[in-house]
Amino acid sequence: MPKIINLKSARKARERDQKRATGDENSVKFGRTKAVKTLESARNEKARSDLEKHRRDDT
């Protein structure tokens, strides 16, 4: 006897899997997390600040 499936739930599961696959592809393409972005930003700001502290005043 064949297994009875709900077509609505099967369609939703298929769409959910497709969205997950698309999201995985995008994360590979554009892929930095927010934590990595903020860490990189903080490191750049600290480097800029350290460089500015060593600047000479020629007045």
Instruction: Please report, for the chain, the start and end positions of each structural domain, with discontinuous segments joined by +.
Output: 7-54
Residue 9 sits at φ, ψ, to 5 deg, of -70, -30
Q: What is the pTM of this model?
A: 0.49
| Mean pLDDT, 10 residues at a time, the chain of 59 residues | 91 97 91 90 96 84
| pLDDT for the residue 59 | 64
Q: Read off the tokens for 45.
A: 């700001």
Nearest Cα residue to 12 out of 3, 20, 23, 4: 20
